[in-house]
Every structure is written in structure tokens, then in C-alpha cells.
A and B are shown apart, each in its own frame.
Chain A
Amino acid sequence: GQNIDQPTEMTATEGAIVQINCTYQTSGFNGLFWYQQHAGEAPTFLSYNVLDGLEEKGRFSSFLSRSKGYSYLLLKELQMKDSASYLCAVRVTAPYMFSGGYNKLIFGAGTRLAVHP
């Protein structure tokens, strides 16, 4: 089966750094994504890792270790607007007889981050 775990809730202070962890056990792994979702809105893409290591993009960084089935999202210089849910998603490739394979994203339950002044 496919299993993705991340903490349910986290709190942090404006200006601080927070790390949101994600562990996964999946078959057909083909990349790990982080999405941000504000209440009542669509998930928006933050970052993508397919190889081991750190990907940095402004205030956000994401790390992947495929051997450990582990990723984290690092948010620096937190702002109030960063209060949102952060969704860890694993892309898996499944066999499909007509095209060689198809991708789908499997999501964790999300981590609700509350940033306080």
C-alpha cells in the first residue's frame, strides 16, 4: 500500500524557521512534491524533488532522501501569510498497457501551520 505521514499541526513565530517532515512508504516512486493550501483554496505548487538532496527556492527549501523515505520542507523568515496547510505528495508511476505508465499524486493528510506574531 501507499502510506505518507506528516505531523497534523505545527506552530511557529513570525520571523522564525520551521521544518515540516514527511515520511513515505510507496511503490513506483517518481518524485516528491510540496503544496501549500490556504483554507478554502486550491493547493499551489511549492517544490519538487526527484533526486536526493536539497532544493532551494527563496524562503522555501525542500530535502529528499529516497533511501530513508523522508523529506522535509523548510520555511525561513516566516510571515503571517505562511499560515496554511502544507501537503506532502508522492508521485507514483503505475504501469499502463497502452502508454508504458501513468503518474498520479498520493497526498499526505497535510500539516496545518499557524504563524504567530
Chain B
Amino acid sequence: NAGVMQNPRHLVRRRGQEARLRCSPMKGHSHVYWYRQLPEEGLKFMVYLQKENIIDESGMPKERFSAEFPKEGPSILRIQQVVRGDSAAYFCASSKGLPGGRATNEKLFFGSGTQLSVL
């Protein structure tokens, strides 16, 4: 029973390149959350998605960042034209949710994260 899978584990990009981070939620989970963690800091909420829908992207920068969770396949966090300040650990978490996307009282399960380093 695989948990939340993120890849790659480490990603190195040069300034101006694109970064694509992938997250496969736990089996049966349809809610995905992305968080960013800077060194020595807590987890900052970025975006919450359900299948084919962005529910809350209030924590995601308006420029260069985008996220999707297609009907088939993993959730993707995409960062265009990366800058050094994007260097951080990006964690994905998933939960099951109820039919119709209603909120539940479940805890989140986290992946091992992707460490993005921008040179």
C-alpha cells in the first residue's frame, strides 16, 4: 500500500529553466495539497486541488507557478523561469475526501518532498 509518492526527490535547475514536480496521492485519495518549506521554516500552504479542479490557490504566487491534478495521472506543480528564491522543499499531501468534494475530518498524509535547488 504505497503512500504519497513524489518525484523527483531532488531537482537541480539553473535560473530561467522550468521545474516540474510530480505527486501521486495515496490510492483512493482525490484531494491533493502542495506546501513549500524554506530552510528552518514551517510548511506554507500553496494550493489545494481535487481531480480536475483547483479549489484554493491563495498561497501560490500569481506569476510563474501553476498546478494541476488531471483526471488521470499525478498532480503537477510547475514553476516557470525559476529564480534562486524558489529553492525550497516542496511537499505534497493527500486525503480521501467525501463524494462531491465535501470536507472531511481526515488527517493529511505527506510525501517525502522534492528538494528544488536553483543554481
> Which range holds the interface residue count of chain B?
20 to 34
B48 to chain A, nearest CB (A): 6
How far, in whole Å, are A100 and B33 apart by their CA atoms in the complex?
18
Flag whether A93 is at the interface (Cβ < 8 A): yes
Q: Write the residues of chain B forming the contact surface with A, with a CB cutoff of 8 angstroms.
A: 4, 33, 35, 41-45, 48, 55-56, 91, 93, 95, 100-105, 107-113, 115
CB pair B101 A107 closer than 8 Å: no
Q: Which of A93, A101, A104, A108 contacts B33 (CB 8 A)?
A: A104
Instruction: Determine if B45 and A42 form an interchain contact, defined as CB atoms under 8 angstroms apart.
Output: no
Number of A-B residue pairs with CB-CB distance less than 8 Å in the complex they form: 70
Contact between A48 and B43, CB atoms less than 8 A apart: no
A positions within 8 Å CB-CB of B: 30-31, 33, 35, 40-45, 48, 50, 87, 89, 93-94, 96, 98-110
Given contact pairs A35-B110, A43-B110, A45-B107, a sample of 14 additional A-B residue pairs in the complex whose CB atoms are under 8 Å apart: A30-B103, A33-B107, A41-B112, A42-B91, A44-B110, A45-B108, A93-B103, A94-B56, A96-B55, A96-B101, A100-B102, A107-B43, A108-B42, A109-B42
Most-contacted residue by chain B among A30, A31, A105 (CB, 10 A): A105
Contact assessment for A99 and B103 in the assembled complex, using a CB-CB cutoff below 8 Å? yes
Instruction: Please name the residue on chain B nearest to A42 by beta carbon.
Output: B110
Inter-chain contacts of B55 with A (CB < 8 A): 96, 102
Q: Are A107 and B105 in contact (CB under 8 A)?
A: no
Query: In this complex, what residue of A is CB-closest to B113?
Result: A42
Q: How far is the CA of A51 from the CA of B10 in the complex (A)?
A: 39
- Min CB–CB distance A27 → chain B (angstroms): 14
